[in-house]
Amino acid sequence: MIVFRPSFFPSGTAGSYLRTAAMGNLFCCVQVDQSTVAIREQFGKFDAVLEPGCHCLPWFAGKRIAGHLTLRLQQLDVRCETKTKDNVFVNVVASIQYRALAGKANDAFYKLSNTRSQIQAYVFDVIRASVPKLNLDDAFEQKNDIAKAVEDELEKAMSAYGFEIVQTLIVDIEPDEHVKRAMNEINAAARLRVAANEKAEAEKIVQIKRAEGEAEAKYLSGLGIARQRQAIVDGLRDSVLGFSVNVPGTTAKDVMDMVLITQYFDTMKEIGASSKASSVFIPHGPGAVRDIATQIRDGLLQGQATTTSH
């Protein structure tokens, strides 16, 4: 009869596991947890894969548990430094999700001593063969293609060892800090150039619209002046005809001189009445009116003679 003292096993979780294992070995039974398989050997040779649950383990027949293998999904993050085609060093971060296959648990347990190191080596090999063929911008655009190449290579290699590659992701492509700053400056300069072009186009449209408005305003102003002068001419003609009819013995010259003198005094009155008018010095005297009338009349006659000669 074997008696175990309480102080024989350590306390805590490890102690509980040891106590369970010791009692299992004592009664030739072993427990396998959920999502885990156990590798059973007999006299050092692989015997069977034990599924989750309670199993008989006759230790006196040379059978023992060599180890346990988890079937849960595992993730490995691999950081690889490489160089692009345009000579930019980047750090590529790949996330590999994998798990052991229950049907090939013996291969997964015996054929690989360090699964994570083996997967990391394949990831390094594929990334360093794919990224140097691409420029930096193309590497960002073709992240999915790089991830697919890594996944295909890992699936082909790791399936022989009893592992399944569930998903491969390229989670980050990180260039050097100076390169990132330069890329941001290039992007900012391009956006500023676009903004400057848009601003120049807007100013161009404003100037064109302003010029069109000024041209239209001048055209309308010219029409107004032409109509005004036509009305003045018509008024003068009517005045001359009416004055000649009502006052016998007057000629058209006499009427024109009187109209010019009247307009001359009206102009002097407007200059004097305007509050914003500056000082204007005009030679004035009894002969000044005659001189102004003579100058205007001579100008009209010269213009008429020039028109006739042409």
- How would residue 299 be classed by pLDDT, with cut points 50, 70 and 90? low
Q: How far apart are CA 184 and CA 179, in angstroms?
A: 9
Percent of the chain with pLDDT over 90: 18
How far apart CA 165 and CA 172 sit, in angstroms, is 20
Of 15-24, 64-73, 203-212, 252-261, least confident by mean pLDDT is 15-24
Percent share of the chain, pLDDT over 70: 74
What is the average per-residue pLDDT within 297-308? 60
What is the tens place of the pLDDT at every residue in 78-114?
A: 999 998 898 888 899 999 999 999 888 888 888 888 8
The CA distance from 29 to 57, in Å, is 5
Length in residues, the chain: 310
- Which of residues 187 and 264 earns the better pLDDT score? 187
Q: Is the pLDDT of residue 135 over 50?
A: yes
**Interatomic CA distance for residues 65 and 59, integer angstroms:** 10
User: Encoding tokens for residue 64?
Assistant: 């023992």
d(CA 227, CA 208): 28
Distance CA 259, CA 240 (A): 9
Mean pLDDT of 302-307: 59
> For residue 192, what is the enclosing H or E element?
helix 177-246
How far, in Å, CA of 86 to CA of 67, rounded? Answer: 49
Q: CA 13, 17, 18, 19 torsion: positive or negative? A: positive
Residue of 4 and 65 predicted with greater confidence: 65
> In sequence order, what DSSP letters do the residues of 240-253 get, joined into one string?
HHHHHHHSTT--HH
Determine contact, residues 136/90, Cβ cutoff 8 Å.
yes
How many angstroms separate the CA atoms of 144 and 152, rounded?
A: 12
More confident residue, 184 or 222: 222
Average pLDDT of span 190-202: 87
pLDDT at 78: 92
Q: Which residue has the tokens 């903004």?
A: 195
For the segment 147-151, the average pLDDT, to the nearest whole number, is 91
Distance of CA 69 to the CA centre of its chain: 48
In DSSP terms, 74 is beta-bridged to 98
Q: Please give the Cα distance from 306 to 310 (Å, whole number).
A: 6
Given a contact cutoff of 8 angstroms between Cβ atoms, the answer to whether 84 and 90 are in contact is yes
Q: State the sign of the Cα–Cα–Cα–Cα dihedral 35, 122, 165, 103.
A: negative
How confident is the model at residue 9, as a pLDDT? 40
**Which of 180, 22, 39 minimizes the C-alpha distance to 105?**
39
pLDDT at 17: 44
Nearest 5°: phi and psi at 99?
-155, 155
Under the banding of pLDDT at 50, 70 and 90, the label for residue 297 is low
Q: Both tokens of residue 59? A: 């230790």
Lowest mean pLDDT among 6-10, 169-173, 242-246, 265-269: 6-10
Per-residue confidence (pLDDT) for residue 268, from 0 to 100:
72
Which of 70, 78, 74 lies closest to 166, judged by CA?
Answer: 74
Gap between the Cα atoms of 39 and 68, Å rounded: 6
Name the residue with higher pLDDT: 260 or 98. Answer: 98
Contacts (Cβ under 8 Å, ≥6 apart) of 254 = none
Query: Which of 111-120, 138-147, 236-245, 273-282 is predicted least confidently?
Result: 273-282
Q: What is the average pLDDT score of the chain? A: 79
